[in-house]
Amino acid sequence: MTHSWFLQRCNQVWVSASYPDMPGHAFCIGGVTELLLQGVPPDVVTTQGRWKSQAFLEYWHQISSILPLFISSSADSARLLSLDSIMDNFARRTNVRTVSRT
């Protein structure tokens, strides 16, 4: 299975079900978000995703718009606040400019 075949097949299924065509980058966004929400340390996310920069933090800083797509009814708001603090600390420690979460 190749990357292009996989995306083409996914898009065939989605479009036939009246969903929009999705770029491969959507998998990166979803993967980063899921790993961070599961509590995987940002350093591990960076390594696992082979990120050469801290660009994945942009996704976290857009969490208010992404979160409804991934959150389950069992989410604990205290856990989410803790994750937010972890991400802010990571950004400070790695000298990454933080982005407003508005």
Instruction: Express each pLDDT in 58-88 by its tens digit.
Output: 766 666 665 565 555 445 667 767 777 887 8
- Does the pLDDT of residue 12 top 90, yes or no? yes
Residue 98 counted as domain residue? no
Short-list 45, 28, 10, CA closest to 2? 10
* Reported pTM: 0.49
Structural domains in the chain (count): 1
Print the domain residue range for 48: 3-93
Over residues 25-34, the pLDDT tens digits come to 777 777 877 7
- R_g (Cα) of the chain, nearest Å: 15
Residue 99 counted as domain residue? no
